[in-house]
Structure 1
Amino acid sequence: MKREIAFGIKTMPRGPVVALLLWSVPEALPAALSGVAVANAVDSGFLANRPAVGLAWLGLLLVAAGLGSLGSRQVYRLLGALVEPFRDTLVRKVVGGALRHAVHGRADDGAIARLTHQVEIVRDTYAGLIVVLRGFVVTVVGVVVGMLSVDPVIVALLLPPFLLGLGLFLGTLGMAAERFRRSVHADERLAVTAGAVLAGTRDIAATGAEEHAAGMVAGPIRAQADAERAIAGVTAARSLCLAVGGWVPLVVLLVAGPWLVSRGLTAGAVMGGLTYVLIGLQPVLRNLMTAVGGSGLRYTVTLRRILDAAEPPAEPERRAEAGRGGGLTVRDLTFAYGAHAEPVLRGLDLVVEPGDHLAIVGPSGIGKSTLAGLLCGLLRPDAGAVLLGDVPVSELSPERLAQARTLIPQEAYVFAGTVWDNLTYFAPDADPELVAQAVTAIGADELVRRLGGEVVPSALSAGERQLIALVRAYLSPAAVVVLDEATCHLDPAAERRAEEAFARRGCTLIVIAHRISSALRARRVLVLDGTGAAVGDHRTLVETSPLYRDLLGHWNPDRRLEEVP
């Protein structure tokens, strides 16, 4: 697939390609007729004292050149239809790759540069390569046809050295690409090292560390110089290839001229052969070498970087084991919002057994929702790990993670569409009877009956949106369900019914509690106080946790924890 994208095969629409080939026919006329016109103008015209005939043949060549220019104009008009789909494919690759890295929690700092700069380099170079390669093929085909019409012996003399030079050039491309990549990497290393040294110029001067600083950049400078010399060597080899393919045919024809004339070849035919070399084979080979050897290498290196960066991050081989049984393990978990911020969570250890029912309580802003994001793999810890089964959640693919856990946040999401699609979003193949049971278990029967068949999100209250999201989570195949204040807009009775439904379902249930009643229903409670954490059942925490006793003392069924002073 990468190779097909690199050459634009997958993105080439068939119609413009066919039109391009058809318009290449008139463009081939000047190359095919140039030697024929010169040969006939000399033999039948000027050497035969018939200048009008000679001029007529040259005039025919001018007409062919006009038709060729018309073909070239149409080719350039068709170029956009070939290049823009290729550019669109690369843009989708860059954006898709950046999104996949973001989902895995890996920042893709180079995505903007690839999107705004590297994609345009590849697009422009791709267009230039199409023009050069197509022009090369058209010219060579036209020249061969023309030489055959003059005399087949000319083809036998001129084509072998031309093909030899072309083959030698193609043989250097792999070496040239590798040396060009080496030069790019050496340049990047030098830029990083030199930037670091220049940023510390004042400190270097103050401490007399000039010699040490020079030693730091000496290695990268040598590597960059070696890489540039290696590229210069390839350029010299390219000149040799041009000499073999572009000048040796000319020398061969001149040396063989007397022998050809002695065998009956006319002077016009010899001049026609020289014309094919000088204005056909030699220029087109030079253009090919310049374009492919220069722009083509930049195209290859830049495109490879784009495609490599678009590849999704590798997943560990053990990811399929995650989520079995629904157990969660938290080891020495630390997280802060920024490198210099105070940690929200520090050194937290926690084990949630499969099928457990855990409530997380604490004052507002203490880190409860942050912990929910870490447990669900939406945030990456600064230290420690969260394991789902026995695999870190940060190493799971989005697909596997979605199958293993479900998170319902405080602001429940519903979308415009059918009630059925909203309820079965996580279980599209759910049986209607199972869906009806879930609706009843959560307590959403009246809402579903009232809505009928369609959902208009703006017409729903916050509590109604939460009911739909709770049914959706209940139907999901995930073994772990995290309710991050997902019932805060429900009354205490509706909240109790929903939480007890999840507890009966047999999943591992973690509730970020906004009412202390959620903690009373849980088997265990985790209390966060900003400096540490306490975990245990209700009775144990009443005896051991002052904060829990304080929260409990301020509790009434309709009051939220966030309102507790």
Structure 2
Amino acid sequence: MKPSAGPGPYRRGVRFLRRRWPVVLRLVLWSVLETGQTFLTGYALAHALDDGFLDGDEAVGLGWLGAAALGVLIAAYGTGQVYRAVADLVEPMRDSLVRQVVGRGLREADGAAVSRLTQQVEIARDTFAGLVMVSRSFVFTAAGALIGLFSLDPLLLLVVAPPLVAGIVLFVATLRPLARRQEEFLVADEELAGQLGVVCPGLRDVAAAGAEQGVAEDLDRGVASEYAAAGALARWGILRTVALATGGQLPLVLLLATGPWLLDNGVTPGALVGALAYVTQALLPALHNLVHGLGTSGSRLAIVLRRLTWDPPETAEGSQVSQVSQVPEASQGESPAPALHLSSLTFAYGPHAEPVLNDLGLTLARGEHLAVVGPSGIGKSTMAGIVAGLLEPDTGDVRVDGLPVRGAGAVGRRVLIPQEAYVFTGTLRDNLSYLRADPVPEREMLAAAEAIGLAPLVERLGGLDAEAAPDELSAGERQLIALTRAYLSYAPLAILDEATCHLDPVAESRAERAFAARPGGTLVVIAHRISSARRADRVLVMDGAHALCGRHDELLARSPLYRDLNGAGEWGSHPSLALRDPYRVDPVPRPGLPGDRGHVVAHRAVGQMEAVRDLGDRRAAGGE
């Protein structure tokens, strides 16, 4: 949606001030009282010198200085009243913005409404108050100083006024271009931050998809865009400095340079000192505050008001991180190469560390289902990362469909689903089709959701075009979305690295069976429960020094570790007493129970475990 047609922020501001003319009038009247101090800054000093101290009459000189001091006290009272008037002007603007933001959030379910309400509205209020104070101060300070210069001697006004007007004109001419450059910089900065917000949490997915180069190019373009915007903003900022030097510093230089000529043409020494006081104590500080306040805060206020009161422009296509295609190259026939081949694989985290994997070899045929089991930290996820191309082995070779795992076209040959599933803000359809370059037919998408077990969530959210907010989804729901996304990809090799750890056993079984049944698909599961191993065609048992691969019944006879793992029932990254089980039961080894091996007992609150005989069957545990 394009920005709605309507007046710009400056016209809106003028209209707002016109509707509140009584407050504006009160602000002007109290500001006039402040102007008296500015007028007396140079006028009283000039007469104190000419009519008092230089004329030998100290009483007159002190009298004029006393008048200047009295002007300061009166101006201080006026300043207090000015702040009251500014508050009466600013708070209605804030209330109006709050009403617009709340109304827009309710009408459009605007997800950014909270940020606008809590941060951007306050920025607008504070910035508007600062602009009113700075602009008002400059106008009345300049008026008081120029009137004072004319009262002392018109020649002084001829020296000071031209460079002051030139500086103001130059500054006003840069306001609109400077505001545009500042908005371009903010937009570029926000787009880059948005890209980083998408990429950083999904670095593992980016590496698994082999999309490092494409993502890096997108980020490079974002950095270059922000750099160019910052450069343009800095160049226009130089003109702002020139305007300040012209309007504030040049009058001082001209007064000093033309001082002898002014004295020769009737300007008194006191008047010249008074003129210097006007420039240094009134005009220069006021112009400095105007340039820096209006030049920066004014642009920021215009941008914030535009975002608060207008609909945001539609994000251009391609502004986000480009989606990664997982479509493999078209094959002319079934390749005789195995789906996955690991040869003498060795990997260590550092040159002096013990190898996590040591001379590991493995071959998987097409369509085979492998479960990888072992104690936590033994190297299962490391192997998955190497197979997915995230890590490079120290020695050995990894091939998928007979081709290097990190070579050309490797992106389309394997997909990794990690434990922490990645879901981005957008529709379910966008999330599920992320790994497909071609449009995914809705029937195929719904069938995949049904196969994985995502269909209830799709129905609950309101269909495939419903928004999927990651922070509103449970960990299990995010895993189901990531699993369905991978299921829809064309990658023949799927690697589930504890990708179902947040699902209950029934949902986990359904998802794994769906992947195993994919036509031509090969599945590697880093198992979280022993049931995953029992469903697999083969099981790889990793124990550090050795690794065994075989069928479930074979390994029960050959591997003591596998027998122990079968008794444990569940392992992985969650501790045995993590109270996350949806059935509110946990495996708890207790002294006195036969075998002490993971008996399941019910629990109430944390730390309040029931005794075994309190289970539903009311029988003492006689065995596993």
**TM-score, length basis structure 1:** 0.53
1:55 aligns with 2:57: no
Once the two structures are superposed, what CA deviation does each residue of 1:55-74 show, in whole Å capped at 9, x if it has no partner? 22112111101111110011
- Provide closer, same or farther for how the CA distance between residues 234 and 202 of structure 1 changes in structure 2, counting only shifts above 3 A: same
- Provide closer, same or farther for how the CA distance between residues 289 and 275 of structure 1 changes in structure 2, counting only shifts above 3 A: same
Distance 2:230 2:428 in 1: 40
Q: Provide the aligned length of Structure 1 versus Structure 2.
A: 321
- Provide closer, same or farther for how the CA distance between residues 10 and 256 of structure 1 changes in structure 2, counting only shifts above 3 A: closer
Distance 1:227 1:310 in 2: 20
- For residue 267 of structure 2, give the secondary structure of its aligned residue in structure 1: coil
Q: CA deviation at 1:12?
A: 4.8
**What residue number does 1:252 align with?**
254
CA contact (8 A) 1:94 1:309 kept: no
CA contact (8 A) 1:32 1:145 kept: yes
For 2:296, the aligned partner's letter is G
Distance 1:72 1:239 in 2: 29
**What residue number does 2:12 align with?**
5
Q: CA deviation at 1:203?
A: 4.0
Q: CA deviation at 1:37?
A: 1.1
Once the two structures are superposed, what CA deviation does each residue of 1:162-209 show, in whole Å capped at 9, x if it has no partner? 010000001011110111111011111111222222122234556776
Once the two structures are superposed, what CA deviation does each residue of 1:506-541 show, in whole Å capped at 9, x if it has no partner? xxxxxxxxxxxxxxxxxxxxxxxxxxxxxxxxxxxx
Q: CA deviation at 1:138?
A: 0.9
**What residue number does 1:17 align with?**
24
For 2:305, the aligned partner's letter is L
CA contact (8 A) 1:190 1:221 kept: yes
Larger deviation: 205-214 or 75-84? 205-214
- Provide closer, same or farther for how the CA distance between residues 25 and 11 of structure 1 changes in structure 2, counting only shifts above 3 A: closer
Once the two structures are superposed, what CA deviation does each residue of 1:22-70 show, in whole Å capped at 9, x if it has no partner? 1112100111111111111111122122233222211211110111111
Distance 2:244 2:300 in 1: 21
For 2:38, the aligned partner's letter is A
**What residue number does 1:281 align with?**
283
Give the counterpart of 1:169 among 168, 171, 187. Answer: 171
CA contact (8 A) 2:428 2:464 kept: no
CA contact (8 A) 2:34 2:76 kept: yes
**What residue number does 2:120 align with?**
118
Distance 1:163 1:213 in 2: 51
Distance 2:128 2:259 in 1: 42
For 2:269, the aligned partner's letter is A
For 1:13, the aligned partner's letter is R
CA contact (8 A) 1:12 1:86 kept: no
**What residue number does 1:95 align with?**
102
- Provide closer, same or farther for how the CA distance between residues 207 and 17 of structure 1 changes in structure 2, counting only shifts above 3 A: closer
Give the counterpart of 1:140 among 136, 139, 142. Answer: 142
Distance 1:224 1:14 in 2: 41
CA contact (8 A) 1:12 1:82 kept: no
- Provide closer, same or farther for how the CA distance between residues 98 and 56 of structure 1 changes in structure 2, counting only shifts above 3 A: same
1:91-490 map, 5 Å? 91-100=98-107, 102=108, 107-204=109-206, 210-309=212-311, 339=428, 382=465
Distance 1:299 1:382 in 2: 36
Distance 2:33 2:274 in 1: 20
**What residue number does 1:438 align with?**
none
Distance 2:51 2:35 in 1: 24
Q: CA deviation at 1:17?
A: 2.1
Distance 1:206 1:96 in 2: 43
Distance 1:380 1:270 in 2: 80
Distance 1:8 1:90 in 2: 15
Q: CA deviation at 1:300?
A: 0.6
Distance 2:81 2:266 in 1: 42
Distance 1:138 1:148 in 2: 15
Distance 2:48 2:126 in 1: 41
Give the counterpart of 2:34 among 27, 37, 49. Answer: 27
Distance 2:90 2:19 in 1: 8
> What are structure 2's unaligned runs of at least 5 residues?
1-5, 314-426, 430-441, 444-458, 467-624
Distance 2:118 2:312 in 1: 15
Distance 2:97 2:205 in 1: 44
CA contact (8 A) 2:17 2:24 kept: no
- Provide closer, same or farther for how the CA distance between residues 382 and 226 of structure 1 changes in structure 2, counting only shifts above 3 A: closer
CA contact (8 A) 1:37 1:61 kept: yes
Distance 1:201 1:310 in 2: 29
1:64 aligns with 2:71: yes
Once the two structures are superposed, what CA deviation does each residue of 1:5-28 show, in whole Å capped at 9, x if it has no partner? 334626753332222121112100
Q: CA deviation at 1:140?
A: 1.0
For 1:129, the aligned partner's letter is L
Q: CA deviation at 1:108?
A: 2.1
Distance 2:15 2:82 in 1: 17
**What residue number does 1:44 align with?**
51
CA contact (8 A) 2:31 2:78 kept: yes
- For residue 309 of structure 1, give the secondary structure of its aligned residue in structure 2: coil
CA contact (8 A) 1:11 1:89 kept: no
CA contact (8 A) 1:98 1:310 kept: no
**What residue number does 1:407 align with?**
none
CA contact (8 A) 2:33 2:78 kept: yes
Query: What percent identity do the matched residue pairs reach?
Result: 42
Distance 2:26 2:207 in 1: 66
CA contact (8 A) 1:11 1:82 kept: no
- Provide closer, same or farther for how the CA distance between residues 155 and 180 of structure 1 changes in structure 2, counting only shifts above 3 A: same
**RMSD of aligned alpha carbons:** 3.0
Distance 1:204 1:110 in 2: 27
Distance 1:263 1:249 in 2: 18
- For residue 33 of structure 2, give the secondary structure of its aligned residue in structure 1: helix
For 1:189, the aligned partner's letter is E
**What residue number does 2:518 align with?**
none
- For residue 18 of structure 1, give the secondary structure of its aligned residue in structure 2: helix
> What are structure 1's unaligned runs of at least 5 residues?
312-337, 341-345, 348-369, 371-378, 384-565
**What residue number does 2:488 align with?**
none
**What residue number does 1:86 align with?**
93
CA contact (8 A) 1:5 1:11 kept: no
Distance 1:224 1:310 in 2: 20
Distance 2:22 2:169 in 1: 32
Once the two structures are superposed, what CA deviation does each residue of 1:215-238 show, in whole Å capped at 9, x if it has no partner? 231111111111112111122211
Distance 1:248 1:126 in 2: 30
Once the two structures are superposed, what CA deviation does each residue of 1:469-525 show, in whole Å capped at 9, x if it has no partner? xxxxxxxxxxxxxxxxxxxxxxxxxxxxxxxxxxxxxxxxxxxxxxxxxxxxxxxxx
CA contact (8 A) 2:189 2:226 kept: yes
Distance 1:209 1:380 in 2: 29
- Provide closer, same or farther for how the CA distance between residues 220 and 243 of structure 1 changes in structure 2, counting only shifts above 3 A: same
- For residue 84 of structure 1, give the secondary structure of its aligned residue in structure 2: helix
For 1:174, the aligned partner's letter is R
1:522-561 map, 5 Å? none
CA contact (8 A) 2:94 2:121 kept: yes
**TM-score, length basis structure 2:** 0.48
- For residue 311 of structure 2, give the secondary structure of its aligned residue in structure 1: helix
Distance 1:380 1:134 in 2: 56
Distance 2:120 2:65 in 1: 46
Distance 2:103 2:302 in 1: 21
- Provide closer, same or farther for how the CA distance between residues 162 and 138 of structure 1 changes in structure 2, counting only shifts above 3 A: same
Once the two structures are superposed, what CA deviation does each residue of 1:300-353 show, in whole Å capped at 9, x if it has no partner? 111011121299xxxxxxxxxxxxxxxxxxxxxxxxxx949xxxxx99xxxxxx
Distance 1:178 1:380 in 2: 41
Q: CA deviation at 1:211?
A: 4.5
